[in-house]
C-alpha cells in the first residue's frame, strides 16, 4: 500500500477528517447554554429529576415549572414543600404526570408512633390527589377514660413514648363507622392523605400507611413534544411561557428537523 497517499498534505481522506472534526467541534461549542444547563440531575439516591421539577442549587430555575422546586435532604432524598410540611419524593412517574410522596416527619420513624404533623392543603392547583387517596384522621390528646368504654377503639391506638395514661393518640380512616363517635373524645385532629387499596384496614397500621405515602397528580406544561424532538423542557418566568430548549436556541414548543443534537 502506498502510504504517501495518506500522508500527502492534500490527501482527500486527511482533508475530510479535518473538516469533519472542526464541524463537530464547532457544533458542540455552539450548543445553547440553556440546553446544556437543563440536563437531568439527581440527589444521591439516583432518582432522575427533570421538568417540571428542578433541584435548587443544582439546576437553574428556568429548567423547572414555577412551584416545582426540589431540594435534597441530609439523607440524599429529594424533598419538596407542601403546606409548610416537607415531603419525601419516592418515585416520579413522568409519563402520567404523578409522583408518590410521604411526609418526611414520619419517614423512618417507629411504626408504632405517629408524630404530630400539619394538615395538607392543595388549593394552589399544582397537585391533586389520586383516586385511591383517603383521609387518615390522626386524633391527638384523646381522653383514655372515655375511650375505655369502647374496647374496639383500642385497635386504633397509637402508642407514643412519653404519653401519659390519661391521653392517647388514634389513627382512623375517614369512612370508619366509629369515627363520628370518637371525634368528641379527642382535642386535636389532623387529616393526612394516604393511599388505601381494597381490603386494607388501618387498625394499628396508620403509621405504616403514612410512611408508604400517597400519589399526587400534577398540572404543568406538557413536555412530551419537546422531548420527542430532542429538546429539554423549561420555563421563561419573564413571559410566563413554556420553552423548549434546543441545541441551537430556545423554541416555543419543539426543536426542528436538522437542528436536534443530543449533548
For every one of its 263 residues, what pLDDT tens digit does the chain have, with 9 covering 90 and above?
A: 554 544 445 454 544 443 344 334 444 457 899 999 999 999 988 899 999 999 999 999 999 999 999 999 988 999 999 888 899 999 999 999 999 999 988 876 655 566 778 888 887 888 999 888 889 999 888 888 877 777 788 788 876 655 556 678 888 889 889 999 899 888 889 999 998 875 555 555 667 788 888 999 999 999 999 999 999 999 998 899 999 999 999 999 999 875 444 43
Within-domain flag for 153: yes
The answer to whether residue 220 is domain-embedded is no
Strand (E) or helix (H) holding 153? none
Residue 162 in any domain: the answer is yes
Domain count, the chain: 2
Determine, yes or no, domain membership for 2: yes
Last residue of a domain, one of 171, 189, 214: 214
Residue 23 sits in which domain range?
1-30
Query: Is 140 a domain residue?
Result: yes
* DSSP tag of 26: H
Q: Does 91 fall in a domain? A: no
Q: Which residue has the cell 375505655?
A: 148
104, part of any domain: no
Distance in angstroms (rounded) separating the CA atoms of residues 106 and 117 = 9
The answer to whether 99 and 216 have CB atoms below 8 angstroms apart is: yes
Q: Three-state DSSP class for 29?
A: helix
- Nearest-angstrom CA–CA distance, 98 and 90: 11
Residue 26 lies in a domain: yes
pLDDT at 100: 95
Place of cell 386504633: 156
pTM: 0.77
Amino acid at each position: 500500500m502506498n502510504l504517501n497517499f495518506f500522508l500527502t498534505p492534500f490527501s482527500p481522506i486527511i482533508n475530510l477528517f479535518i473538516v469533519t472534526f472542526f464541524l463537530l467541534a464547532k457544533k458542540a461549542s455552539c450548543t445553547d447554554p440553556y440546553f446544556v444547563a437543563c440536563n437531568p440531575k439527581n440527589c444521591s439516591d439516583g432518582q432522575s429529576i427533570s421538568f417540571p421539577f428542578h433541584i435548587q442549587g443544582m439546576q437553574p430555575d428556568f429548567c423547572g415549572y414555577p412551584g416545582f422546586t426540589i431540594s435534597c435532604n441530609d439523607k440524599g432524598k429529594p424533598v419538596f414543600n407542601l403546606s409548610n410540611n416537607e415531603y419525601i419524593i419516592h418515585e416520579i412517574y413522568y409519563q402520567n404526570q404523578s409522583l408518590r410522596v410521604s411526609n418526611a416527619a414520619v419517614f423512618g420513624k417507629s411504626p408504632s408512633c405517629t408524630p404530630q404533623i400539619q394538615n395538607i392543603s392543595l388549593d394552589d392547583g399544582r397537585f391533586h390527589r389520586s383516586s385511591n387517596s383517603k383521609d387518615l384522621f390522626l386524633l391527638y390528646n384523646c381522653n383514655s377514660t372515655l375511650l375505655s368504654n369502647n374496647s374496639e377503639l383500642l385497635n386504633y391506638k397509637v402508642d407514643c413514648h412519653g404519653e401519659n395514661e390519661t391521653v392517647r393518640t388514634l389513627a382512623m380512616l375517614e369512612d370508619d363507622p366509629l369515627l363520628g363517635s370518637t371525634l368528641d373524645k379527642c382535642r386535636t385532629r389532623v387529616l393526612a392523605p394516604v393511599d388505601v387499596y381494597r381490603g386494607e384496614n388501618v387498625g394499628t397500621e396508620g403509621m405504616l400507611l403514612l410512611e408508604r405515602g400517597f400519589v399526587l397528580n400534577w398540572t404543568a406544561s406538557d413536555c412530551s413534544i419537546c422531548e420527542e424532538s430532542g429538546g429539554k423542557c423549561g420555563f421563561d418566568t419573564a413571559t410566563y411561557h413554556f420553552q423548549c430548549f434546543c441545541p441551537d436556541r430556545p423554541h416555543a414548543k419543539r426543536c426542528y428537523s436538522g437542528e436536534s443534537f443530543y449533548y
